[in-house]
Amino acid sequence: MIESTATIRIRRADALVDVVELGHARLRMFDVAVPWREFRWYRKQQHFSGSYWSTTMQAPVGYESRLEYANLLLLDFDPRVEWILSQPFLLAGDDRGTTRRHVPDYLIAHADQSVCVVDVKPAAKLGLPKVRASLDWTRRVVEAHGWEYRVVTEPDPVVFLNAQFLAGFRRPFQFRVDEVHAAMRALAAPMTFGEAVRAVTPITGDASFARSLVLHLLWKSQLHTDLTYPLSTTNLLEPR
């Protein structure tokens, strides 16, 4: 297959670059990897780069646009995702006589060690021939290797805004472990958000902090609710 000739270039923390045939790529090769490109910030920049502190990685993860940020936050919120690397490698190869080079936006690993390559594109650009050809080639070579390939666009706005709000309560060091465990015991049955806050208040001694703790449990997916609707005191919360 033509796709089997594709290679990846992995930039390492010691500034060296590993060149590997995609067919030989393994997740452990990224243990010392850093993003392929530097994330730059400068005056009058046309896109919005930044750094997001990920609970999955317990470290900052970079993004090059607000759309990348939105999807990165949702990856961080996904309990199935255990590892995230931005701009993980440079993919290069022949596509039926055309030389292609492409840097995917994210490489993620799930709890079962399955690997997924993620590209983030505005939905309006997916129909452009150049973009479509590049993404189609990337999909062919990545899936031929046995990795999942995913193209994501603008997320559901309500789901994103809910997740972005919950992200304000994502940092585990802000909550006492014994209170987290006690709260989960108190929330062992389905109840509304308002009822959950009242149930946790005796544990924390403060209603405002109880609210924060319930929101933290929602971020950690230890509690579940329908995030396609705006969060309110009437949301039904269910333990996982």
Residue 4: predicted pLDDT: 53
Confidence label for 99 from pLDDT (cuts 50, 70 and 90): very high
Q: What tokens appear for 100 in the block? A: 């292609």
Above 60 in pLDDT, residue 3? no
Residue 45: predicted pLDDT: 61
| In contact, 131 and 125? CB cutoff 8 Å | yes
Give the tens place of pLDDT for each residue, 41-84.
Answer: 656 666 688 999 999 999 999 999 999 999 999 999 999 999 99
Domain ranges of the chain: 2-152, 157-239
Considering the chain, what percentage of its residues have pLDDT values greater than 70?
95
Confidence label for 5 from pLDDT (cuts 50, 70 and 90): confident
Considering the chain, what percentage of its residues have pLDDT values greater than 90?
90
Distance CA 48, CA 97 (A): 35
Residue 2: predicted pLDDT: 40
Specify whether domain 2-152 bears CATH 3.40.309.10.
no
Residue 29: predicted pLDDT: 95
Averaged pLDDT score across all residues of the chain? 94
CA nearest to 62, candidates 33, 28, 98: 33
Above 90 in pLDDT, residue 171? yes
Helix (H, G, I), strand (E, B) or coil at 227: coil
Distance CA 150, CA 80 (A): 15
Distance CA 142, CA 148 (A): 7
CA nearest to 151, candidates 131, 172, 179, 177: 131
- The enclosing H or E element of 95 equals strand 90-95
Decide: residue 7, CB within 10 A, 0-12 exposed, 13-18 middle, 19+ buried: middle
Buried-exposed string 62-83: b where 16+ CB fall within 10 A, e elsewhere: bbbbebbbbbbbbbbbeeebeb
Helix (H, G, I), strand (E, B) or coil at 50: strand
Give the tens place of pLDDT for each residue, 103-152.
Answer: 999 999 999 989 999 999 999 999 999 999 999 999 999 999 999 999 99
Above 80 in pLDDT, residue 1? no
Residue 44: predicted pLDDT: 62
